[in-house]
Structure 1
């Protein structure tokens, strides 16, 4: 048995158990699955962006090779149609991750996943600072809604889910509505105080 084979087997004995433990850890699994869920959206938008810049760009290689400008003189207008795709995918990735990570954590704690995810989005915008005042009106920049805000989105989602889920399973914190109240309303009121405490926590920070 060669030295390389011994090294590989030694690494397998050490790394595989560690990888299995990490894979089953709640927080790691929540973040992992959150990114996996965004994969189809990111891939679809990437394909559209590829078409937009590789084929529809008037200055692109393919457009010049196939003389598309002479056949389709309005390539720039066609390119402008697909440009907003990034605003609905890559440029809001942090919002999606904040929701999905918190939702996955709530599922692992067997708590209300949708409301936990929505609370994480609210908490993310509480700590989100790039607001600008222009002519007396507040505007929100999209600088940190995309990939640049992913780290903050993950941290906010994990903290939100921990506070939310721990408080939501405490009967002294939850609000129980009468049986006559519609289920959707009762569901919202049940976690009203946990949501309130999450918002206050991030507002104070």
Structure 2
């Protein structure tokens, strides 16, 4: 085990650390973290509108004299899931531009313009999420490079207000960037593809969501996150940028299916992992803390860490456990820490 740990520290951890700090992945992760409260609100609103408790719908209808009470949930959905791709297009460009130490707000606005130029009006919900991510990254990369070209910067006299000077400085880069996406949309339209977002969703995004919803994918996710954590790398932060591109459309598809009276089609998503696999955090460490309370009370160092870790562990926050016991680089903990999430996936995910 010592040789294995030494090998991983030398060859694996440096590469994984660079990947985890990669600015595009960090921007994707931060964008979804900002939008997470909206997704939670949207899901709760639809859940309340379609709560499967016998008599609930009839009770609410009798109180409000009809189904007018469902207007709140519909309005909440319009302000959350219905504009998710628009939010991500802006937030991703904003965070990525900040990573380059450029004007994040200008980059976000340009990304929005580029997204709608490419047909984003037909895919403002999570259906356009992949396109929003692609546009956010590419438009920001173009804008950052063009704004670094002095020949494209319109310089205003010293007496001009800073806000006006800043707007004119980004004028030509913005025009070129948005025009490039408008040209791409025109080329696709010339070949008969009027709905780029819808076509991309059907051809790429929907099959990818189905693939990610499989039992092997769930096992892989259950393995790789604690595996990274064992070596001191924040596995969730490294995996989340990829997972979020799948999670948001999958969650909305589940919400829509439940609203229509059907079962949720995409089980393997972040809410599933948080509720059934990562009990207490990565590695299901809440069970470990309870086991220490039951049979490890004579180990005073473990009890001190457990007392400090149990409260955050209830909310799936387990950094105190990871570094306090510790689990990180602890060969005794390695096998149960890796296998427990995979066993939970086997219990809760249909193998077929």
TM-score by length of 2: 0.48
Residues 126-169 of structure 1 show CA distances to partners (whole Å, capped at 9, x for unaligned) of 1117xxxxxxxxxx54xx21111111000001010001011112
* Conserved 8 A contact 1:175-1:189: yes
Tell me which of 112, 115, 121 is aligned to 1:121. 112
The answer to whether structure 1 residue 87 and structure 2 residue 78 are counterparts is yes
Alignment partner, residue 165 of structure 2:
186
Query: Quick check: 150-159 or 74-83, which moved more?
Result: 74-83
Alignment partner, residue 23 of structure 1:
20
Residues 57-112 of structure 1 show CA distances to partners (whole Å, capped at 9, x for unaligned) of xxx425x1696258525251111232121111111110000001111111011111
The answer to whether structure 1 residue 155 and structure 2 residue 134 are counterparts is yes
* Conserved 8 A contact 1:98-1:124: yes
Tell me which of 14, 39, 53 is aligned to 1:61. 53
Kindly tell me: are residues 71 and 6 of structure 1, through their superposed partners in 2, closer, same or farther at Cα, counting changes over 3 Å?
farther
Q: Secondary structure at the match of 1:41?
A: helix
Alignment partner, residue 287 of structure 2:
none
Q: Secondary structure at the match of 2:152?
A: coil
Q: What is the number of equivalent residue pairs in this alignment? A: 183
**Which residues of structure 2 form unaligned runs of 5+?**
185-352
Residue 194 of structure 1 and its aligned partner are, at CA, apart by 0.3
* Conserved 8 A contact 1:111-1:169: no
Measure, in 2, the Cα distance between the counterparts of 1:67 and 1:148.
Answer: 33
Measure, in 2, the Cα distance between the counterparts of 1:202 and 1:66.
Answer: 46
Residues 36-60 of structure 1 show CA distances to partners (whole Å, capped at 9, x for unaligned) of 1111111122222222221xxxxx4
TM-score by length of 1: 0.79
Q: Secondary structure at the match of 1:77?
A: coil
Alignment partner, residue 42 of structure 1:
39
**Which residues of structure 1 form unaligned runs of 5+?**
55-59, 130-139
Higher relative CO (CA 8 A, sep ≥ 6), structure 1 or 2?
A: 1
Tell me which of 35, 47, 51 is aligned to 2:48. 51
Q: CA RMSD in A?
A: 2.5
Measure, in 1, the Cα distance between the counterparts of 2:56 and 2:178.
Answer: 56
* Conserved 8 A contact 1:94-1:153: yes
